[in-house]
Structure 1
Amino acid sequence: MTTVVDINRTLGPLPHDDVPSRDEDGLLAELDRLRIDTACVVHSHAVHQDPRDGNEALDRVGSPRLRPVPVLVPGPLGTGPWSGGAPLVRLCPRRHGWSLTGPHARRLLAALAAGGTTVLLARDETTAAEVSALAALSPAPRVVLTGTGYRALRELAELLEICPRLSVDTSTLCGHRQVEWIAGRYGAHRVLFGTGAPDTDDAGPRHLLDLLDLPAADAALIAGGNALRLMGAGR
């Protein structure tokens, strides 16, 4: 049986909507409804409020189906020195007001790369030039770019060409055969199932997963195999 892992999910209340995933039980019920085995979750407080408070809330998550993804902020007003312990982290430089190419960020990214930790980074939090700069670092961190969408497909294709450690999630790859095209050109190992829920729709990406016109082995990698590999690599 194929394992389905949502690499891009949020737990907790949203400031602009009442969502089922405002608490752990509600999120687990949503995963059951959509036949998702595991979700890698950031806490909404870490994204929309103080990352330190949201990361502490993740420490209270009880279900092994929910894999905590802390939100990190570099610098003296950030979340503190990175000591490892999580295979996936999320960065929100624009929302939290710091530079992805600044000196504090470079030290953090070097530590993440050295520890084998993967970075989740939303397209609206960065630029193509910044992503290219990350790829030029030595060592370069693994990055999963989320929320790309069809309007960014040309930009995404160029980044995938020049950034070998860059992958993409499926949260907004809803155009006709977009996932198949990326998997065919760059490899299924660079596409991960992710919904971006509840900020974006979860049923659409989940339905698309069932309809992928790809070899079974490739579809299984996208559904969960790639995410499980990344989570294991960070341990």
Structure 2
Amino acid sequence: MRVVDVNRILGPVPVGDVPSRDVAGLVAELDRLAIDAACVVHSHVLHYDPVTPVAVPGHPRLTSVPVVVPGPLGTPVPEARIVRLCPAEHQFALAGPQGLELARELAERNITVLLGWESTNAGDVHRLAAEVPALRIVLINTGYRALRELADLLDAHAEIRVDTASLCGHLQVEWMANRYGAHRVLFGTGAPETDDAGPRFQLGHLELPAADVELIAGGNVLELLG
């Protein structure tokens, strides 16, 4: 079974001195938890400046996830299969005119969007998905408090998915997979800003068929990466 973390941060973070501040430390953390690969966003573009990004050093186990910002003061759409949108952090309207223009371009180019739950709200996600139904959105860092809103969104929009970073309640991942299909659930940790050992332990103990666990563990994100 291939295990791929769709939601990982490389670089120093405000919460403390972390091993994943550089590539060597991050890969060592992946080894410690038996994670084969990761999609990584650099903390510089996540928390500071996406317009002048810090490049993620090349490594066969790491896929760089650029942060994109719409509009003339934003960023060009990169050559990537997965990008991240951070409307709260970088002060733009997710479902505004420029946000929708960006979303349409991402959908046309078959690029998947990671979208942090802490950076948006259910109403804006609904408007974005309704206006651009072909856009694949992975809602990350959701948590148990968002389950009712998540159910509302997943019922309405077939291209919305979730990661497991904060779906840590009893049988929450199983409920998502059984109701919406395992193809809409991706393994992610949000580390190092959130715990990585918990989601990794949970992955190894899911009460789901082996084929579903393999999809969640890595099959789904590998498909999105092509």
Give yes or no for TM over 0.5. Answer: yes
> Where does residue 45 of structure 2 map in the other structure?
46
Residue pairs, 1:110-129, within 5 angstroms: 110-129=104-123
Asked if the contact 1:3–1:220 (Cα under 8 Å) also holds between the matched residues in 2, the reply is yes
1:114-154 deviation digits (Å, cap 9, x = unpaired)? 01100000111111111111221245310000111111111
> Where does residue 97 of structure 2 map in the other structure?
103
Partner residue of 1:177 out of 163, 171, 176: 171
CA shift for structure 1 position 15:
2.7
**Please, what TM-score do these two structures have when normalized by structure 1?**
0.94
Aligned residues: 226
> Where does residue 87 of structure 1 map in the other structure?
81
Structure 2: tracts of 5 or more residues without a match: none
1:194 maps to 2:188: yes
**Please, what TM-score do these two structures have when normalized by structure 2?**
0.97
**What SS class does the counterpart of residue 176 from structure 1 fall into?**
coil
- Residues in 2 aligned to 1:109 and 1:96: alpha-carbon distance in whole angstroms: 16
> Where does residue 57 of structure 1 map in the other structure?
55
- Residues in 1 aligned to 2:131 and 2:200: alpha-carbon distance in whole angstroms: 34
> Where does residue 137 of structure 1 map in the other structure?
131
Asked if the contact 1:91–1:119 (Cα under 8 Å) also holds between the matched residues in 2, the reply is yes
Identity %: 62
Residue pairs, 1:208-223, within 5 angstroms: 208-223=202-217
Runs (4+) of structure 1 exceeding 4 A deviation are none
> Where does residue 72 of structure 1 map in the other structure?
68
Structure 1: tracts of 5 or more residues without a match: none
- Residues in 2 aligned to 1:209 and 1:138: alpha-carbon distance in whole angstroms: 31
- Residues in 1 aligned to 2:31 and 2:172: alpha-carbon distance in whole angstroms: 26
1:168-219 deviation digits (Å, cap 9, x = unpaired)? 0000000000000110011000000000000000000000000011000000
CA shift for structure 1 position 69:
0.3
> Where does residue 155 of structure 2 map in the other structure?
161
